[in-house]
Every structure is written in C-alpha cells, then in structure tokens.
Amino acid sequence: MEYKKCKRGHLRTPENVNPRGNCRICEVQRTQRWREDNPEVYRASKVCSDHKYHGAHRKSVSAYHRAYYKTHKRNPEYNVWLTMKQRCTNPNSTSYKGYGALGVRVCRLWQTYDGFIGSIGLRPSSKHSLSRFGDVGNYSPSNCIWGDRKHQAEQKRIKRARKNL
C-alpha cells in the first residue's frame, strides 16, 4: 500500500495520523518550535511545574498554560493529560471525589505534558484511553498504559474482585 505525505513530507501511515487526520510528527515539531520561540514562558513552566503558583512566576506560568492549551487543545493526548491532572488535583472537578479525594496522585514526571508524552507515548488510536492497572494506585509510568474498552472492563473486574475479598 502506498501512503500519501503530509504538507511537510512525512508519510501519513495509520500510526502517524491522529483522529483528526493531522500528522503527529508535525504536531510534535510545532510544539518544539513553540518552546524555542517562547523560552521565557517555557522556562517559567519548568520552575513551577508542580502548580504552586507563587511570586514572580505567577503571570509567566499562567501565560504558559494559556499558550500551551491554545496550541494543544485539539490534541487528544493533551486533553487526556489535562483531565487526569484535574481529577486528581482540582477539588472543583466533578471526578475529584473518585480520584484526588481518595488519594490518587499524579507522579512528578507527569506534572508536565512533555514528561507524560515522553514516558507513555502517543495514544495508539482514538479507541484507547489512559488506564491504571486494577484501577488502583497513582498515575505513573509503571502503573498506566493506553488501554482499549476491553482492557478497561477487565481492570474494573479486577477492582471489584479485590473489593469483595
């Protein structure tokens, strides 16, 4: 089978195209270019990546998140990462009571989107979602994978079985 190329010349294989039809390699390169063009905002995010907004960094960090969200809001992996962080850290989130209130945390590496993608990789398909083994433990590289609906259902069964013991 012969694959077409994107605007920048990358092959548009099924693994290289996101659900919207955009080239994933181009999205990663766009992110890297943005970081190079906005070093002061990116650097501020590194300093305050644990979301303890304080002092002189407050304006820079919020600007970083606004610009980063504007760049990645259509990126499914970014939305998964953002939702994961919200349900574990934001008491105003509707899912907080099932995660953050029960002590589920996000590991230090995954506090930044780059650390998250660097360790777990891109989502294999739009049918996959972030899955913790047995639906227990924190969100970390050793406890999570991209799981499909079948895997998610198996993990729920494991959680129910542990509850009944």
Q: How far is CA 117 from CA 28, 37, 83, 133, 157, in A?
A: 10, 21, 14, 18, 28
DSSP helix/strand/coil, 150: helix
- Which range, 12-26, 29-43, 74-88, 150-164, has the best average confidence (pLDDT)? 74-88
Q: Which domain, by its residues, includes 93?
A: 74-165
With respect to residue 61, please indicate whether it lies within any of the assigned structural domains.
Answer: no
Among residues 164, 147, 122, the alpha carbon closest in space to that of 16 is found at 122
Q: Which residues are CB-contacts of 62 (< 8 A; sequence separation ≥ 6)?
A: 53
With respect to residue 30, please indicate whether it lies within any of the assigned structural domains.
Answer: no
With respect to residue 145, please indicate whether it lies within any of the assigned structural domains.
Answer: yes
With respect to residue 161, please indicate whether it lies within any of the assigned structural domains.
Answer: yes
For residue range 108-142, what is the model confidence (pLDDT) as tens digits? 999 988 889 888 888 888 888 898 887 788 999 99
pTM for this prediction: 0.55
For residue range 33-55, what is the model confidence (pLDDT) as tens digits? 777 776 665 554 444 444 444 44
Among residues 82, 86, 128, 92, the alpha carbon closest in space to that of 104 is found at 86
DSSP helix/strand/coil, 55: coil
Q: 106 pLDDT band (50/70/90 cuts)? A: very high
**Rounded (10°) angle between helices 24-37 and 57-72:** 160
- Which helix (H) or strand (E) is 71 found in, with range? helix 57-72
With respect to residue 24, please indicate whether it lies within any of the assigned structural domains.
Answer: no
Count of domains forming the chain: 1
What amino acid is encoded at 21 in this protein?
G
Q: 72 pLDDT band (50/70/90 cuts)? A: low
With respect to residue 38, please indicate whether it lies within any of the assigned structural domains.
Answer: no
Maximum alpha-carbon separation in the chain: 56
